[in-house]
Amino acid sequence: MPLTVNVRLLESGPTRIAGELAVDDFAADFTDPLVRFVSPMSYDIEVQRNGPDLAVTGKLSITLGCTCARCLKEFRSELGIPRFAALATFTGEEAVPKDGDIADLTPLLREDIFLGLPANPLCRPDCRGLARKAKARDSHLGVQPSDGSSPWGALDRLKL
């Protein structure tokens, strides 16, 4: 069920909405070989009138199941948007769907979650990749992984 708000009820003031949005409601068509949604999206937002539009602020979070782009290890990651802010307009190219007095805010949340997804998820920032390939790469550079030297060491030794 998408996240909707009754615009007429906002005439008396802002309203706070908290809950969860099922993956099928905001990302049923999402396909990425490295990133999957493993939990519903949690939201805690405040919606208020801003002239003819709606101002939406709050926080979003979701758990991701990822495959490391370097070593192919499976891991979980939390994606949080602590300062979500969007303007829901009812006209123009970016208009949110509206049926009578009911506005669907799901596209706004979807957009920010998708923009926050990692392009190349890594299990650790210093992930060296698959062990066999990491050893081969190090031997070409003349770097021994156990000596603690920098991967730039081979370039530092070049005489130009």
Three-class SS state of 10: helix
- Measured CA to CA, the distance from residue 138 to residue 59 in angstroms comes to 43
Query: CB within 8 A of 103, min separation 6: which ones?
Result: 4, 5, 7, 54, 88, 90, 96, 97
- Measured CA to CA, the distance from residue 50 to residue 102 in angstroms comes to 16
Stated pTM of the model: 0.74
Q: What confidence score (pLDDT) does residue 128 get?
A: 85
- Measured CA to CA, the distance from residue 128 to residue 37 in angstroms comes to 25
Residue owning tokens 């891991």: 75
Q: Determine how many CB atoms are found less than 10 A away from the CB of residue 61.
A: 17
Per residue of the chain (160 residues), give pLDDT as tens.
789 999 998 988 999 999 999 999 999 899 999 999 999 999 999 999 988 899 999 999 999 999 999 999 999 999 999 999 999 998 888 899 999 899 999 999 999 999 999 999 999 999 888 766 555 555 555 545 545 567 677 787 887 7
Q: What confidence score (pLDDT) does residue 133 get?
A: 58
Contact 14, 46 (CB under 8 A): yes
